[in-house]
A and B are shown apart, each in its own frame.
Chain A
């Protein structure tokens, strides 16, 4: 059966959690979970920022179908560099602990 013939319920799913005990890094209870949550948020924030960046680029270039445009968008060298610079700067501001 190929994917097209499957209902949502029939589609297989990947394993999302790794087997093995997770180490604890912090002394404060809950801190490890909080750090994980913060980084998931940070990740998603970066995704949003990337998406907005894409939207602006697509709009500027064509003013046409934004969603389709975003999916098809190819980042050029300059765009890749801009994005990487922004991410590194974001993490510099985030990592204030020492």
Chain B
């Protein structure tokens, strides 16, 4: 199936020249090629060469992902696969960065203009210090990370994330990069049709990709997106305004927000937790519990735990930890999220993992490059380790705060 998915334009998005667009399109193709053609070669290489060599050397078969990795890193096929992945990531950011650099003052001016015309709040506190796990290195090799500023009112890394993530996901998350949020909202509409959140908080929202569907599908709710990256928050606010959606954004740490107790009916996050730390994750769960009203729900859409997978699958997935500046990626999958939720104050009986089916099919009719057939192919794949986006849907951790908790206390 040819992937011709195209990102939808919006007023805050950087505009690419013909050559810039071709450069970017190549990186998307390269990622697709690695996934469709190089990735499937790893299993036979492991089975026919690496596992046998390991057994010969150690007198036993590889037992876990560390054993598998210790053998695979010496194999030339794996070296090419891993190097190609890393280079694709670097080319991807560079292809977008060059385009943003050319038009940065104009993009900043445009974002300022969009934000100024919006009614929704934009909160950037003076002297905010982002946590070290975000600034110590540039997560997923994105130059500048989420927080760097190179100009007044800078939005550059926000713009970089918006376009770069589209290429990274190869369009699998839809023309507006919003499949995760859209899928969780669909899940709620299906499983909790009477749930009408008055206030919604999206933690670690970056540029608001997943935040906006909540406003779209719960138009009467007050929606807040928070993130530690100032340029991301500014860009998110301008982007939402460009879509005509009234969503509030604030630069804030999900470990310690400034919202009052029991303020929100729904607290969500999307691919946030694996970019935090072993110390921050329990604090984020506790903070979500604190700001949730009785009867409210906490939903984290992130990576499924390792204990559900075989060692070879774990090994493939853990490549992100080793090669893509994702230091917490593997460790997060070893965390006991039930225990974390319980420690945060939730009852174990009110906590579960479930799958929110991908909403990508909804895009098929309207969006450029999204044929019905290709969208179906993305949504209905089986899970394959190392492919972007799980087949079947997104793994979600759901915890509900009981209604009677307030009465009992």
Contact = CB atoms under 8 A, between A and B. Distances in A.
A51 B26 CA distance: 12
Q: How large is the interface on B (under 10, 10 to 19, 20 to 34, 35 or more residues)?
A: 35 or more
A17 B19 CA distance: 21
Interface string A22-59: 11011000001001100110111011001100100000
A15 B150 contact: yes
A97 B77 contact: yes
B142 interface: yes
A88 B29 contact: yes
Q: For A14, A16, A47, which residue has the most chain B Cβ atoms within 10 angstroms?
A: A14
Interface in B233-275: none
Contacts of B325: 18, 20
Contacts of B138: 18-20
A98 B40 CA distance: 12
A5 to B, nearest CB: 9
Interface string B321-334: 01101000000000
A14 B87 contact: no
A40 B79 CA distance: 18
B18 A15 contact: no
A77 B151 contact: no
A2 interface: yes
B32 interface: yes
B377 to A, nearest CB: 14
Contact of B322 (A23, A50, A77, A84): A23
B104 A26 contact: no
Contacts of B383: none
B160 interface: yes
Q: How large is the interface on A (under 10, 10 to 19, 20 to 34, 35 or more residues)?
A: 35 or more
A39 B325 CA distance: 20
A15 to B, nearest CB: 4
Contact of A46 (B4, B26, B143): B26
A14 B150 contact: yes
Contact of B83 (A6, A12, A35, A47): A35
B221 interface: no
Given A36-B90, A80-B369, A23 B106 contact: no
Nearest to B105: A3
Contacts of A97: 76-77, 80
Q: For B25, B27, B154, which residue has the most chain A Cβ atoms within 10 angstroms?
A: B25
A12 B103 CA distance: 10
Contact of A35 (B26, B87, B104, B137): B87
Contacts of B6: 80
Interface string B74-85: 001101101110
Interface in B112-143: 136-138, 141-143
Interface stretch (B91-99, B185-193, B398-406): B91-99
B18 A71 contact: yes
A9 B40 CA distance: 48
A18 B87 contact: no
Contact of B137 (A19, A40, A43): A19
A80 B4 contact: yes
Contact of B79 (A26, A44, A92): A26
Interface of A: 1-4, 6, 11-20, 22-23, 25-26, 32, 35-36, 39-40, 42-44, 46-47, 50-51, 54, 70-71, 73, 77, 80-81, 83-85, 87-88, 91-92, 95, 97-98
Interface of B: 2-4, 6, 17-19, 22-23, 25-27, 29-30, 32-33, 36-38, 41, 45, 76-77, 79-80, 82-84, 86-88, 90-91, 93-95, 97, 100-101, 103-106, 108-109, 136-138, 141-145, 148, 150-151, 154, 156-157, 160, 322-323, 325, 369, 371
27 contacts: A2-B105, A3-B103, A14-B100, A14-B104, A14-B144, A14-B157, A15-B97, A15-B156, A18-B90, A18-B93, A19-B136, A19-B137, A19-B138, A19-B145, A20-B137, A26-B79, A35-B87, A43-B27, A46-B22, A46-B23, A70-B18, A77-B371, A84-B2, A84-B29, A85-B2, A87-B26, A95-B80
